[in-house]
């Protein structure tokens, strides 16, 4: 066979990520407030764009199968399909860390969101920015409850006010004694009082002291742990063999000590904010229907209607004699048409994803967090025939307002735990709510240990290990049995 150059004609298909398609994908991940800012910039850059009248919200009924005519449909052209799915051929799904979701949602104040088991009106949007107690205010309240010595209480309150945001004391006892004109012994007594307060570890003057206070609280402060905390610089440098020899323990005990150490909070004061949080503006509104379904709509208050001013285009084109000017005007018209279309497609995609989430988590909207089911991105993506990356982008920075409160869309994607009967499972949020209910109802004279909680949860159908119960308990801001016994004893004194 002779070798030589020749010309061949071949047909092939390829996907090109144009700047417009890239922008359409980015629009999916923006919240309504960010879209509002984006539209403001577009209005300044394109004279053919204008703000139209209010858009009648197209309610999406109770989530139904994809072939139902009531479902939001996507246009059939390839470009529209790519905008709707928001992906390229090589796009990969974005994984959601379920534990990170739990951390994001677990504020410790569960009763404010889930007390309305009968479907009563939940907290308003403006109520979610309520002022949170600062660390100093939290400590002052405890000092007044346990101190019977006004002089000691005064010094302790002064020390609490001197703590930094992390809960550490930067001044020495001698400096504080000179500042207050009191004996140094009195300052040390007041400091001991502050260090006995919640959260454990506040009032420490070093990291080692902070961790030592927490180790004593957990009844783990033995001579080996003391040597470990006295030599934290070796741990920071990674000199573990030397540190293990100094502690005089074997590999297993040393690993347990390090695991215990990692569970302590090096900055306990950061649990308390220095001011109120910002209120959340929802992107999606859900209201119950008389037939038991749900009406979904985008929050039009934060989503202005964008239209193309075609009459202005005709007027400008009639006065354009220059070829360059006509070309510029045509480009602006194409950009305006594309942006209006992309925003409309974004709205349809968000409502389609939200509708499926409501369908999957209908038990939560009807009965509360105890009926929240485990849910993954893939489950929703398969149900609505979209890519996982699309669902991930749609659920990013989006908040949903319903009669039970305002929640981030990602909140409804939760990990699951095993059931006692081996069938199905429950979401981590439902388990946390059950733990919160049990602890709230416990007798102050018979505080529930984690082992007891394991048994009680097993009776409710949750098959959990003790360490899992402890992790969930800490995640919702509930202390150990020792801490809760102290807190409820203080509450009884008040």
**8 Å CB contact between 363 and 371:** yes
Residue whose tokens read 């989006």: 398
Asked if pLDDT for residue 113 goes beyond 50, the answer is: no
Q: What is the DSSP letter of 476?
A: T
* Residue corresponding to tokens 């389609």: 352
Q: Does the pLDDT of residue 29 top 70, yes or no?
A: yes
- Alpha-carbon distance 212 to 204, whole Å? 9
The CA radius of gyration of the chain, in Å to the nearest whole number, is 30
* Element holding 285 (H helix, E strand): strand 284-288
CB neighbours (10 Å) of residue 183? 12
Q: For the packed helices 377-384 and 323-360, what is the interaxial angle rounded to 10 degrees?
A: 110
pLDDT at residue 223, rounded to an integer: 86
pLDDT score of 55: 41
Angle 223-230/207-217 helices, nearest 10 degrees?
A: 160
Please, which pLDDT band fits residue 69 given cuts at 50, 70 and 90? very low
Beta carbons within 8 Å of 379's beta carbon, 6+ residues apart: 360
DSSP SS3 for 297: strand
Which pLDDT value is given to residue 22?
79
Residue bearing tokens 């951390």? 103
Q: How confident is the model at residue 1 (pLDDT cuts 50, 70, 90)?
A: low
Q: Which residue has the tokens 């009669």?
A: 403
Q: What are phi and psi of 94, to 5 degrees?
A: -95, 120
Q: Are 389 and 96 in contact (CB under 8 A)?
A: no
Q: How far is CA 116 from the centre of its chain?
A: 22
pLDDT at 368 over 70: yes
Residues with Cβ within 8 Å of residue 140, at least 6 apart in sequence: 157, 160
Q: What is the pTM of this model?
A: 0.47
pLDDT band for 273, please (50, 70, 90 cuts): low
Within a 10 A sphere around the Cβ of 222, how many other Cβ atoms? 12
Structure tokens that stand for 476 in this block: 């919702």
pLDDT computed for residue 275 by the predictor: 47
Task: Give the tens place of pLDDT for each residue, 165-202.
Answer: 888 988 888 888 888 888 888 889 889 888 888 888 88
To which H or E segment does residue 306 belong? strand 306-308
Confidence of residue 65 (pLDDT cuts 50, 70, 90): very low
Task: pLDDT band for 366, please (50, 70, 90 cuts).
Answer: confident
If one counts every other C-beta atom within 10 angstroms of the C-beta of residue 468, the result is 18
Structure token pair of residue 477: 């801001």
Task: Tell whether omega for the bond before 199 is within 30 degrees of 0, i.e. cis.
Answer: yes
Please report which residue ranges of 265-322 form alpha helices under DSSP H.
310-318
Q: Measuring CA to CA, how many Å separate 273 from each of 107, 145, 157, 269, 347?
A: 12, 22, 18, 9, 35
| Token representation of residue 152 | 């000691």
Q: Give the list of residues 6+ apart from residue 32 with CB closer than 8 angstroms, or none.
A: 281, 283, 298, 299, 302, 303
Distance of CA 228 to the CA centre of its chain: 34
Residue 408 is inside which H or E element, if any?
Answer: strand 405-408
| Parallel, antiparallel or unpaired: strands 284-288 and 399-402 | parallel
User: Is the per-residue pLDDT at 89 higher than 60?
Assistant: no
What residue ranges define each of the domains in the chain, with the CATH number in brackets?
19-127+279-411 (no CATH), 135-271 (no CATH), 415-493 (1.10.10.60)
The residue ranking higher by pLDDT, 94 or 325, is 325
Strand (E) positions, 440-486?
none
Measure the CA angle with vertex 40, ends 36 and 44; round to 5°: 165
Mean of pLDDT values over 209-216: 88
Q: How many CB atoms lie within 10 A of CB 311?
A: 9
Q: pLDDT tens digits for 377-415?
A: 888 889 988 888 888 888 888 888 888 888 888 878 865
Residues 364, 379 contacting (CB under 8 angstroms): no
Q: How far is it, in rounded angstroms, from Cα 99 to Cα 105?
A: 10
pLDDT in tens, 292-317: 888 888 888 877 788 888 888 888 88
CA dist., res. 219 & res. 201, Å (int):
14
Going by C-alpha positions, the residue among 18, 119, 71, 38 that lies closest to residue 348 is: 71
């Amino acid at each position: 066979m002779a070798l030589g150059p020749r010309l061949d004609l071949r047909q092939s298909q390829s996907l090109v990520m144009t700047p417009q398609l890239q922008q359409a994908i980015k629009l999916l991940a923006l919240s309504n407030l960010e879209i509002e800012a984006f539209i403001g910039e577009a209005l300044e850059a394109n004279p053919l764009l204008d703000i139209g009248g209010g858009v009648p919200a197209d309610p999406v009924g109770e989530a139904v199968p994809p072939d139902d005519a009531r479902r939001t449909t996507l246009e059939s052209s390839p470009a529209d399909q790519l905008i709707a799915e928001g992906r390229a051929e090589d796009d990969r799904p974005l994984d959601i860390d379920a534990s990170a979701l739990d951390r994001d949602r677990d504020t410790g104040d569960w009763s404010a969101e889930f007390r309305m088991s009968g479907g009563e009106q939940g907290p308003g949007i403006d109520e979610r920015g309520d002022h949170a107690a600062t660390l100093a205010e939290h400590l002052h309240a405890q000092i007044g409850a346990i101190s019977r010595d006004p002089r000691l209480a005064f010094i302790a309150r002064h020390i609490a006010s001197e703590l930094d945001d992390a809960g550490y004391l930067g001044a020495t006892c001698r400096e504080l004694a000179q500042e207050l004109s009191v004996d140094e012994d009195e300052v040390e007594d007041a400091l001991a009082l502050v260090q006995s307060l919640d959260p454990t570890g506040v009032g420490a003057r070093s990291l080692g002291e902070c961790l030592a206070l927490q180790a004593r609280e957990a009844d783990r402060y033995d001579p080996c742990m003391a040597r470990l905390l006295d030599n934290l610089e070796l741990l920071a440098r990674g000199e573990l063999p030397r540190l293990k020899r100094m502690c005089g323990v074997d590999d297993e005990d040393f690993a347990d000590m390090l695991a215990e150490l990692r569970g302590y909070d090096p900055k306990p004061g950061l649990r308390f904010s220095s001011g109120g949080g910002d209120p959340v503006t929802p992107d999606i509104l859900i209201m119950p229907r008389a037939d038991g379904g749900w009406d979904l709509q985008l929050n039009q208050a934060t989503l202005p209607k964008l239209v193309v001013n075609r009459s202005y285009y005709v007027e400008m084109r009639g006065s354009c004699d220059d070829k360059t000017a006509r070309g510029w005007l045509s480009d602006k018209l194409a950009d305006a048409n594309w942006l209006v279309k992309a925003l409309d497609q974004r709205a349809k995609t968000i409502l389609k994803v939200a509708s499926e989430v409501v369908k999957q988590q209908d038990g939560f909207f009807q009965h509360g967090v105890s009926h929240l089911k485990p849910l993954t991105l893939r489950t929703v993506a398969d149900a609505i025939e979209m890519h996982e990356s699309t669902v991930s982008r749609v659920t990013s920075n989006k908040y949903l307002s319903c009669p039970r409160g305002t929640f981030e869309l990602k909140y409804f994607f939760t990990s699951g735990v095993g059931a006692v009967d081996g069938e199905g499972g429950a979401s981590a949020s439902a388990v946390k709510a059950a733990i919160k209910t049990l602890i709230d109802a416990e007798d102050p004279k018979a505080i529930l240990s984690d082992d007891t909680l394991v048994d009680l949860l097993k009776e409710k159908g949750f098959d959990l290990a003790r360490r899992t119960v402890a992790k969930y308990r800490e995640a919702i801001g509930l202390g150990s049995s020792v801490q809760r016994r102290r807190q409820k004893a203080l509450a009884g004194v008040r």
